[in-house]
Amino acid sequence: MTKEREILITEVALRDGSHAVAHQYTVGKVLAIAKGLNEAKVPYIEVSHGDGLAGSSLQYGFSRTNELELIEAAVSVCDTSKVAVLLLPGIGTVKDLKQAASLGVKMARVATHVTEADVSAQHIDVAKSLGLETVGFLMMSHMASVAQLVEQAKLMESYGADVIYMVDSAGALLPHEVTERIKALKEYVGVEIGFHGHNNLSLAMGNTLAAIEAGATRIDGSIRCLGAGAGNTQTEVLVAVLDRMGIQTGVDLYKIMDLAENVVAPILPKPQEITKDSLVLGYAGVYSSFLLHAQRAAEKYNIDSRDILIELGRRKVVGGQEDMIVDVATEIAKESKSQSLTS
């Protein structure tokens, strides 16, 4: 790798990290974090509910603060960084996208399950018409073959996406699997390729470096590892590692470190670490945002949350099927009760 190579980082703590704080961000917290990220010259800052625009709901979790207020707050303190939003078709609408754009958002990331890129066509087209840099975001990429991933990425490219992301939503991929997928995308897709990882198997950094080695130029990070499950690739660590490798990010290392230590760490409900539950997310290949939902269901039905997650993985449940968590929990609880009565 040479000094000429550059990686553009998107900071996701104000979106993916929303899961970790149960969507309880306030305007004050978003202002403080976004201001610090801007001063550290992080290129992109993603702000929205953890499940994207309009995600605040009974099924996904209600936001403490209207996400449009949070987006507006972030935009107000960013003169270097660009604010981005995530949109999942079927949750967020074209109207939501237009509202976000009117507040000064510069990037839209349109996310679908890895085999459902066809539902992104309208939203990618509208994002482009609004003058937004547009990203196709293929979630749960471990659930598709390399050929399927390439096929779906090419669909998003044909709709007008400027960048295609391979997203390891469950933190389930191993480095060689990341390498194989990114190399294939680089070979067959004509736009920039990005990678978004989760740390459920303690492989977020390893997988990110594998993606970069294979040709990815857009990378997601989460300051202080603030993201769903065990969090994402830790931004301040990533900046330091890439600097050691001679890869430019444009991010001020001291400022991003200070922001992580002095502003972000104090708002964490608990330190981001790999617990038994987040480990099972990666092991079973379950969507990282299911963690808190599964833990709450386990407590309600007095069962082991790992049993819920393993069964969700066996059923290949994907993002948007959060209602299945309670269904699985009740089934496990009934089975456990039946076994106790017959033993």
User: Alpha carbon 300 to chain centroid distance?
Assistant: 27
Q: Could you give the CA distance from residue 107 to residue 85 in angstroms, rounded to a whole number?
A: 6
> What residue numbers does the annotated binding site for substrate cover?
15-16, 169, 196, 287
d(CA 254, CA 320): 38
Binding residues: 15-16, 169, 196, 198, 287
Residues 6+ apart with CB under 8 A from 111: 52, 86, 87, 88, 120, 137, 138, 139, 167
Q: Which residues are known to be catalytic? A: 19
Residue ranges of the binding site for Mn(2+): 16, 196, 198
Straight-line distance from the first to the last Cα atom of the chain, in angstroms, rounded to the nearest whole number: 62
